[in-house]
Structure 1
Amino acid sequence: MQEYGVGVFPSVPTKSAWKKALKKKRVKVNGHLAHTSTFLKGGEKIELSLAEEKPSSKTLIFDLKVLFEDDYLAIIHKPAGILVSGNSFKTIANALPQNLKPSHLSDATKPQPVHRLDYATTGLLLTGKTGASIRKLNQLFKEKKVQKVYYAATIGKMPLSGKITDPIDDKPAESHFETIRSVSSKKYGYLNLVKLDPKTGRRHQLRKHLSTMGNPILGDKTYGKEGFILMGKGLYLHAYSLEFIHPFTGEHLKVTDDLPERFTKIFGEL
């Protein structure tokens, strides 16, 4: 039942949303409450009842820089110091409706981020504006058809390039890196501008992989070296580019987001 429902109702575009609807007892099959284990043979009548959303008494006023937008999707710049989604009021998800144009398509829905960036990470975030778009974009990520490039400032001497394949949470993980520039530093020995190409999408993957190498990201309070934690400047990790084929128009999209000034102060312009 959990697998079948995705895509049937535009208002429930993802597996997690469908699972929540089942858990909240909002789905019936032939008049009976459905569960994640309900088996479908075909020909059943499926009903979805969603509680009316009460309009929020508060509106999040938070300006976002929009780098690409059409009726299907949008790509925005995520600043540091804000969650992408969650139970907090101040999230990118809550700021999207005030920053994006409403979609004119029949399955338009509240804009929704389709991947994650850490609280302290800056850069490009892809969002869907329709039920079909959210499903298609999630599928592109699942099939590894979205190419992502990050830049980080790392500590210590590094090889010119390489591949890191240490498992994360007992799951396969793979990150490729290329050292673009290195500068000497009194405090850190070396600081490096590193281009990163994650082939998998594990939680904190790039931060963990670089820390495992002995080259943690500058400003990383969780995976950094003791005595080398940079306070007050944030995490030097930036989601620089997204590249994929638009799932509805067939357009080849490649969007970039310039390095923040704190990077260029150390390494100069790309």
Structure 2
Amino acid sequence: MKITETHTSPNLPYGIRLSDYAVGIFASIPTKAGIKKAIKKGLILVNNQRGISGQFIVGGEKIELLEDENLIKKNIDLALEVLWEDDYLAVIYKPAGLLVSGNKAKTVTNALPFNLKPSTLENAVKPQPVHRLDFATSGLLLIGKTASSIRELGKLFEDKTIQKTYEAVTIGEMKNQGTINFPIDGKESLSSYLLLKTVDSERFDKLNLVQLTPHTGRRHQLRIHCAHIGNPILGDVEHGIEEKILKGKGLFLHAKSLEFTHPYTQEKLVIKKETPAKFNKLFI
């Protein structure tokens, strides 16, 4: 099996279990759950031997990550639209109704190696998304192709220097613009909106095409914020108003643009993907 990433542990003042120590050392597996799964599959070696979750890392160990051959054999038949790509990163379009990652084979993460050009750089890794999009949300997804670019892009999100813009269809009377400051899971959460179009609706009273900008990155933030001000997003089964939930048409939320400075070339990138046709049909 091919080794995709290698790490040498520094001297440690005390032993740390492999399942805890390995979190964060591999760019392609950033979570503890992912590390545990990789150990269980036998994809992590310690000094050329299969790693065990409870073994202690004390320093000087060579820790290696193997390629998951099961994913390669599946050769996931999922074509992704690639909007921008170089050796460091890529931006792809995720359709609504597709998982970014997870236990299922058909995910964006598993399909990336079959849709992107392999990076020619020394620290190339399996391409990884560096942020989230909900299953029901369509739009742009930023991908890292090297270990260093995954870290650098993650820092851009932490420093809030990547601007994400969404479009959504909301229900009910809305002001022309506004800011929503409402905590989620006890954490500060801030979004702003701009009303683009409005039409009367017999069932929903008003339907609005709005531009949404999240200034923090909480889970379901835009959906929760729109619901909080009384204007839930059309098709939101989880956060919508019970008698006004549209079923069977999907969620009307789309990640339309990404703006950021390339961390290596310093090029100013503005990547856009037009809103799906089902949005605009409501405002003809």
Q: Which residue pairs with 1:188 in the alignment?
A: 204
How far has the Cα of 1:28 moved from its partner? 6.7
Q: Quick one: which of 39, 42, 50 aligns to 2:65?
A: 50
In the alignment, is the contact (CA less than 8 A) between 2:28 and 2:125 conserved in 1? no
**8 A contact 1:14–1:134 mirrored in 2:** no
TM-superposed CA distance for 1:98, in Å, is 1.1
Q: CA deviation at 1:183?
A: 0.7
Runs of 5+ unmatched residues, structure 1: none
Tell me the CA shift for residue 49 of structure 1.
3.2
Q: For 2:127, give the aligned amino acid.
A: P
* Residues 259/15 of structure 1: CA separation in 2 closer, same or farther (3 Å cut): closer
* Identity of matched residues, %: 49
- Aligned ranges for residues 119-268 of structure 1 at < 5 Å? 119-267=135-283
Q: What CA distance in whole angstroms lies between the structure 2 residues aligned with 1:254 and 1:52?
A: 33
Amino acid at match of 1:90: K
Displacement of 1:6 in angstroms is 8.2
Deviation per residue, 1:18-59 (Å, 9 max, x gap): 9827x9495879xxx999x98x9xxx5342133553343312
Task: Give deviations 1:190-237, integer Å, cap 9, x for gaps.
Answer: 000111110000000000010011100001111111111111111000
TM-score by length of 2: 0.82
Contact 2:127 2:144 in 1 (8 A): yes
- Decide whether the 8 Å contact of 1:13 with 1:132 is kept in 2: no
Kept after mapping to 1: 8 A contact 2:27/2:151: no
CA contact (8 A) 1:13 1:135 kept: no
Instruction: Tell me how far 1:267 sits from its aligned partner.
Output: 2.6
Tell me how large the CA RMSD over aligned residues is: 3.0
Code of the residue aligned with 1:49 in structure 2: it is: E
Secondary structure of residue in 1 paired with 2:74: coil
Is the partner of 1:49 in helix, strand or coil?
strand
Q: Deviations over 1:145-185 (max 9, x none)?
A: 11000000000000111111110011110001111111111
TM-score, with length taken from structure 1: 0.86
Instruction: Please tell me the residue identity of whatever aligns with 1:150.
Output: Y
CA contact (8 A) 1:28 1:34 kept: no
Aligned length: 261
Pairs within 5 Å for 1:15-26: 15-16=30-31, 20=35, 24=39
Distance in 2, Cα, partners of 1:200 & 1:86: 24
Q: 1:76 maps to which residue?
A: 92
In structure 2, what is the Cα distance between the partners aligned to 1:133 and 1:235? Answer: 31
Stretches of 4+ moved more than 2 A in 1? 1-7, 11-21, 23-29, 44-47, 49-57
Counterpart code for 2:277? E
- C-alpha separation in 1, matches of 2:112 and 2:67: 20
Is the contact made by 2:22 and 2:35 (CA closer than 8 Å) also made in structure 1? no
Amino acid at match of 2:238: T
Structure 2 Cα separation of the partners of residues 66 and 149 of structure 1: 18
Deviations 1:110-169 (A, max 9, x none): 111110000010010000111111111111111111100000000000011111111001
